[in-house]
Amino acid sequence: MSKIIVTVDQEKCIGCNTCPLIDPETFEMDENTYKAKVKKQPETQTEAVKTAETSCPVGAISITEEK
Ligand code: SF4
């Protein structure tokens, strides 16, 4: 499986805290901005990271495959 890159669009994120609840290995909240950020890039596309992406209410999470 190819490597993926997860990003959180800081402009779009409304700090709802959903993604760190779904996938705490990948996401965490930034204590200063109250927005989510990537804590650790997952090695592969896990169910958790996919669920977090689709659960974000504002579509701030992107998963792209590394070329
Ligand atoms: S689910 Fe989306 S809006 Fe909510 S904290 Fe994560 S990136 Fe931000």
Q: Which residues contact ligand 1 via a Cβ below 6 A?
A: 8, 13-19, 35-36, 56-58, 60-61
Q: From the options 1.20.1050.10, 3.30.465.10, 3.30.70.20, 3.40.50.11540, give the CATH code of 4-65.
A: 3.30.70.20
Q: Tell me which long-range contacts 34-41 makes (C-beta under 8 A, separation of at least 24).
A: 35/8, 35/10, 36/8, 36/60, 36/61, 37/8, 37/10, 38/6, 38/7, 38/8, 41/4, 41/5, 41/6
Place 2 in a pLDDT band, splitting at 50, 70 and 90: confident
Residue 1: predicted pLDDT: 61
Residue 67: predicted pLDDT: 72
What pLDDT, in 10s, does the model give residues 10-65? 999 999 999 999 999 999 999 999 999 999 999 999 999 999 999 999 999 999 98
Which of 6, 7, 14 should be mutated for ligand 1, with most atoms under 8 A from CB?
14
